[in-house]
Chains A and B, each alone.
Chain A
């Protein structure tokens, strides 16, 4: 590959309606390269391409083409051609006329146009289709015509804006090879925009990974896959296990309390890093041979391989009591109003945060008209609560004087810490009526709310952790009594792709080579 620069993006900034889409993009593109701009939708990749095509003007920065600043050139004066997302073939022209469009504009003679168009039809394998209407062609054929229409002008650079997005999977695979073949045959630079990482890996010489208007990493497919620059790239390109670790020294990294040899260097001592291990790089071995050990949680057959989830660090869990009680609604003297509320527990630290609204929410206090079922507002709340352990009474009263008394218990709730997994979980006992449980639309979520269940990272308390709920009663058949509810986190799980089968529940060892550990500096998004 020659190393002549053909396009330079210099500090390109672009915003739409005050929203910044490109935040100062710098990128060099060389001759004869197949470059892919890869990223999720909204990352700015198409905007960058359209700026290069001349359909949008950058707010700041410049685009240099072949050493010349082309910022203010209109599209028709730029020596590049575009293959549009939905092909944009001219419906009033035949296949031949579509391909010949650019040449006729350049006023080439009829016989030269003939010659060039026929050559293109041969290149894209559509000889004999020249007189057809484009509407009768299949998606793949239209795609080829669009490519031919652009290539026939012999541009130095071909821009392709998600050209395969509208094709079905099989055709897309075919076109990937086709495009690569065409690019190698004509030997010009292709700039290809896609959100499909597999497409990018298959075709590109160079991949530019973008996110939120910024370039995350530029590299060959191998570099991007094997040495992702950060967590975003690792996640976006292929599947991966990403875990927090500490770089102890050059070639030494620690994660999950174990020290490993690795091939990475140049980090600060004890720098916090993210570690990536690809699922296919981990092998399952007998426990004594493993660098780590864990329990097989699930095994999924994926065709060529099994996807096995191994838990090396158990999750953190906390168990609370759910007191199920009879309905204890209070009916007013004239029988026209009903009021209900439940007892609840509150952590001693949270007492200062309690106000009328919070108490009504936590006790689920409500009142309603018995005839119309309309809610009646609670007019008065009386309570005297101190930040000391004990039980306190609270009285809810409506405007008509219907009232109910309940108990708030102030407790010093211990939370469960799990240093190894860097997390903590906390939840409270709670009291509910049979009706409330049976009327719940989303019981798991409601139980989490009722129990004020929460999980967080020990290293950063503001970062919450997902908690799963587990119980063994049937919500449709719940009776008065006490039930155990377990809240737990998932712990450390590794995803492994292997051709060897493992039994669920088996204790296994995990092993990998130092070069399979990819260390990335941690990015705060």
Chain B
């Protein structure tokens, strides 16, 4: 059940259009088409680039928030975590629509900005809008992952570090941060992967002008009807993501300190 759709996609990606399930001819033309068309490659790099930016912003915003939560009192921790978790219970699509209201012309944001004489500027349907939408949607995953690894940390390690002469800043760079890396890495995975392939955030907030790989795939399946080409793009994305994860895991294991034998 889990493998079948995946296998079908893999099969579709290497067969010609119009084949029936019973008789088909193999081809690599979809892959060749993707890698030779500069337009498609632009979409791919754009997708990877915006996902990268989303991840970096989520990390920069998320780490301090997660750190603050992990250092607050137990009761406060629960409340703060609730505040971060509850929005994720509401459908992502609905929340993204809400951002249209905030960012549109004459919306809340431009009204506030106009108070400061920043005038009425167009935010919706720009790359910034897409970025804001992505960061907003994926930030909680980053925070929760990092917070978990910070909370799991043995407090006596921090005392030991201070005891050995490390200032609070040193303790952070040498103990706290390295030990929170597993959380950071799974946070990166959880933000980057869905960000690369997201299609409705760019569609809603980018207004069709901002075309990402997710939109491309959606287009091939729903609008164009090129299932085989769509499958090929999906396969390419799957391989890229797999490589990403392998690279990230490698960093993680290299971090383990000493030989385990």
Contacts and interface: CB of A to CB of B under 8 A. Distances in A.
Interface of A: 53-55, 74-76, 81-82, 84-86, 88-97, 101-102, 105-106, 131-136, 149-150, 153
A76 B167 contact: yes
Given A88-B154, A91-B179, A149 B258 contact: no
B170 to A, nearest CB: 6
A453 to B, nearest CB: 49
A91 B257 contact: yes
Contacts of B174: 101, 105
Interface in B141-168: 154, 156-157, 159-167
Chain A CB within 10 Å, residue with most, of B157, B162, B163, B165 = B163
Contacts of B259: 94, 131-133
B163 A74 contact: no
Contact of B258 (A75, A85, A93): A93
B39 interface: no
A97 B255 CA distance: 13
Interface string B176-190: 001101000000000
Contact of A76 (B154, B156, B165, B257): B165
B260 interface: yes
A97 B175 CA distance: 12
21 contacts: A75-B159, A76-B162, A76-B163, A81-B164, A82-B163, A85-B156, A88-B154, A88-B159, A89-B160, A90-B179, A90-B257, A91-B179, A92-B178, A92-B179, A101-B161, A101-B174, A131-B258, A134-B258, A150-B164, A153-B164, A153-B165
A90 B175 contact: yes
A92 B162 contact: no
B37 interface: no
B184 to A, nearest CB: 13
Contacts of A94: 257-259
A95 B257 CA distance: 9
Contacts of A84: 156, 159-160
Interface string B248-259: 000000011111
Given A76-B165, A102-B164, A55 B257 contact: no
Contacts of A136: 260-261
Closest 4 CB pairs of A and B: A94-B258, A133-B258, A102-B164, A88-B156
Given A84-B159, A88-B154, A132-B261, A105 B164 contact: yes
Contacts of B260: 132-133, 135-136
Nearest to B255: A92
Chain A CB within 10 Å, residue with most, of B157, B159, B165, B166 = B165
Given A95-B258, A150-B164, 6 more contacts: A84-B160, A92-B257, A93-B257, A105-B165, A133-B257, A136-B261
Contacts of B255: 92
Contacts of B261: 132, 136
B256 A133 contact: yes
Interface in B39-90: none
A425 to B, nearest CB: 53
Contacts of A153: 164-165
Interface in B223-261: 255-261
A82 B163 CA distance: 7
Contacts of A74: 162
Contacts of B156: 84-86, 88
Contact of A90 (B160, B163, B170, B181): B160
A86 B155 CA distance: 11
B163 A97 contact: no
B165 A92 contact: no
Nearest to A149: B164
Chain B CB within 10 Å, residue with most, of A84, A89, A92 = A92
Contacts of B157: 88, 90
Contacts of A76: 162-167
A96 B257 CA distance: 10
A138 to B, nearest CB: 14
A81 B165 CA distance: 9
A166 B174 CA distance: 27
Given A101-B164, A102-B164, A55 B256 contact: no
A106 B159 contact: no
A102 B257 CA distance: 17
A180 B2 CA distance: 62
B250 to A, nearest CB: 16
A55 B159 CA distance: 7
Contact of B163 (A81, A95, A106, A134): A81
Contact of B166 (A91, A105, A132, A134): A105
Interface string B23-41: 0000000000000000000
A499 to B, nearest CB: 46
B214 to A, nearest CB: 36
A101 B181 CA distance: 19
A89 B157 CA distance: 7
Nearest to A97: B257
B157 to A, nearest CB: 5
Contacts of A93: 257-258
Nearest to A75: B162
A361 B119 CA distance: 86
A448 B198 CA distance: 78
Contacts of A102: 164-165
A492 to B, nearest CB: 49
Nearest to A102: B164
A206 B255 CA distance: 44
Nearest to A146: B160
A165 to B, nearest CB: 14
A97 B162 contact: no
Nearest to A161: B156
